[in-house]
Amino acid sequence: MRIELEKRAGVSKLFAILSPLLALVLTLIVGAIIFAALGKEPVGALYSFFIEPLLEVWSLHELAVKAAPLILIAVGLAICYRSNNWNIGAEGQFTIGAITGSILPVLNPDWQSPMILPLMLVMGAAGGALYAGIPALLKTRFNTNEILTSLMLVYVAQLFLDWLVRGAWRDPQGYNFPQTKPFNESAVLPELLDSGRAHWGVVFALVAAVALWFMMRYMLKGFEVTVLGQSARAGRFAGFSSRGMVWFSLLLSGALAGLAGISEVSGSIGHLQPSISPGYGFTAIIVAFLGRLNPLGIIASGLVLSLTYLGGEAVQMSLQISDKVVRVFQGLLLFFVLSCDTLILYKIRIRWSRSAAREGAA
C-alpha cells in the first residue's frame, strides 16, 4: 500500500472548514476506543466528558473562565506562527505577566483604588511582552533559534515564580503555605454576571480575537504578517522587515500571554502560588492550530480545548478515569488537525498494490 499526495489546483475551501471538524470526529472515535480500553462504557464516558459540562450554568462559566486565557494566548501565537516565528514559550510569558501584574497588589496590599486594576493589567502585558522580547532580541541580534530559547525561558519563569512565592513574596500570615497575600477587592478582576465566575478576562479574549481578525483581514500589517510568513524574500521586495516582524509578533504574543496571566491570577485565583496554570501556554498552541491560525476560528477552538479540561475533571469524578486522559485528548486533537490540514492543499491517493499503481500510471 502506498499513499501519494497530489497537489490541488487551489486551496480547498471545503476542507479548510471541514478539517477541524474532521479532526474532532477522529479524536472522539479514538477517545471512545481509549475509554473502552479502560473498561468504561464509551458512549456514556464521552457524554460525561463532552456534553455534561455544557448542561449547567456554573460549568458554562467555568468553560468561559478556562477558554479566556487559551484564546488570549492562542490569537497571539497565531500571528507568530503565520509570520513564521515559533514562539512556544507562552507558558513562561503567561507566568511572568502574572508576576509583574501582581507587583502592586502584593507590595501594597492595602492600596484600594480604581486605578489599580488597569495598572495591573498594563504591567502584566508589559511583563509578558518584555519576556517574549528576550527570544526576539536573541533571534534578531544573535541569530538564535527562538523555539529553543523561548521554551528554556518557560522553565526559568516557573522557577522564578516558585522562588518568589516561597521567599520574598510569601504571605507571613499564610500558615507557611507558598503563596502571596490574597489580593484586595479592588485588585480582583470583577465577574461579568451574577450567575457565576466568568470574569473580564473573557471580554479581553474576545476583543483581542476580533481586533486581530480585523488586523489580519483589513490592515496592511496583517498582509505583512502573511507575506513575511510565506516568503521572507518576497516580503523584503515589498519593503517589509523580517526583523521588525520578529519583534512585532513576539512582543504582541508575549503581551497577550502576559495579560492572560494577570487576568487569570487576578480574576480566578486571587493570589500568586507556585502553580498558576494547567499548561495554558502549551494547550494554546493546539488552540491556535485547531482554529487554523484564524483569530475567529480560535474563539471556537478555545472553547473546545477548554471543554477538554472540564470533561477531564468530570470523568475523573464520575467515572474515576485519570485526568491524564485530558492531555492525551489534546495531543490527539493536534495530530488529527495537522493531518486533516493536508487535505486542504492535497488530494490523497491510496494505491493498494504495485500493479494498481502501474494501471494508474498508464
Partner 1 sequence: MDMFQAILLTVITAATPLVIAALGELVTERAGVLNLGVEGMIVIGAVCAFAAAHLSGSPYIGILAGIAAGALFSLLFGFLTLTLVTNQVATGLALTILGLGVSGMLGESFVGVPGVKLPNIVFPVLSDIPFIGPILFRQDLIFYISIALVFGISWFLFKSRTGLKIRAIGDSHSSAHALGINVIRTRYFAVMFGGACAGLAGAQLSLVYTPQWVENMSAGRGWIALALVVFASWRPWRVLAGGYLFGAVTIGQLHAQAFGIGVPSQLLSALPYIATIVVLIIISHNRRTTLINTPASLGKPFVPDR
Query: Could you say whether residue 1 binds partner 1 (CB under 8 A)?
Result: no
Residue 171 and residue 180 in contact, taking contact as beta carbons nearer than 8 Å? yes
CB of 158 to partner 1, least distance (A): 9
Query: Could you say whether residue 30 binds partner 1 (CB under 8 A)?
Result: no
Q: Binders of partner 1: how many residues, by CB under 8 A?
A: 50
Question: Which string of DSSP letters, residue by residue, matches 64-97?
Answer: HHHHHHHHHHHHHHHHHHHTT-----HHHHHHHH
Query: Could you say whether residue 160 binds partner 1 (CB under 8 A)?
Result: yes
Query: Could you say whether residue 159 binds partner 1 (CB under 8 A)?
Result: yes
Q: Work out which of 72, 153, 206, 228 binds partner 1, going by CB under 8 A.
A: 153
Choose between 208 and 293: whose C-beta lies nearer to partner 1: 293
Q: Work out which of 111, 155, 177, 218 binds partner 1, going by CB under 8 A.
A: 155
Query: How far is it, in rounded angstroms, from Cα 203 to Cα 330?
Result: 25
Rounded to 5°, the CA angle 239-240-244 comes to 140
Query: How far is it, in rounded angstroms, from Cα 193 to Cα 296?
Result: 24
What residues numbered 317-356 form the site for partner 1, per CB under 8 A? Answer: 322, 324-332, 334-335, 338-339, 341-342, 346, 348
Query: Could you say whether residue 210 binds partner 1 (CB under 8 A)?
Result: no
Which residue's C-alpha cell is 494547550?
283
CB of 62 to partner 1, least distance (A): 21
> By 3-state DSSP, what share of the chain in percent is helix, strand and coil, each rounded to 5?
70, 5, 25
Q: Work out which of 169, 240, 248, 289 binds partner 1, going by CB under 8 A.
A: 289
Query: Could you say whether residue 39 binds partner 1 (CB under 8 A)?
Result: no
Query: How far is it, in rounded angstroms, from Cα 296 to Cα 11?
Result: 19
CB of 88 to partner 1, least distance (A): 6
- The pairing of beta strand 2-7 with beta strand 346-351: antiparallel
CA-closest candidate to residue 101, choices 70, 69, 128: 128
Q: Work out which of 286, 299, 305, 314 binds partner 1, going by CB under 8 A.
A: 286
CA-closest candidate to residue 263, choices 199, 210, 185, 183: 199
Query: Could you say whether residue 50 binds partner 1 (CB under 8 A)?
Result: no
Q: Work out which of 285, 298, 299, 307 binds partner 1, going by CB under 8 A.
A: 285
> How many CB atoms within 10 Å of residue 117?
21
Residues that bind partner 1 (CB under 8 A): 3-7, 81, 86, 88, 138, 141-145, 147-149, 151-153, 155-156, 159-160, 162-163, 166-167, 282, 285-286, 289, 322, 324-332, 334-335, 338-339, 341-342, 346, 348
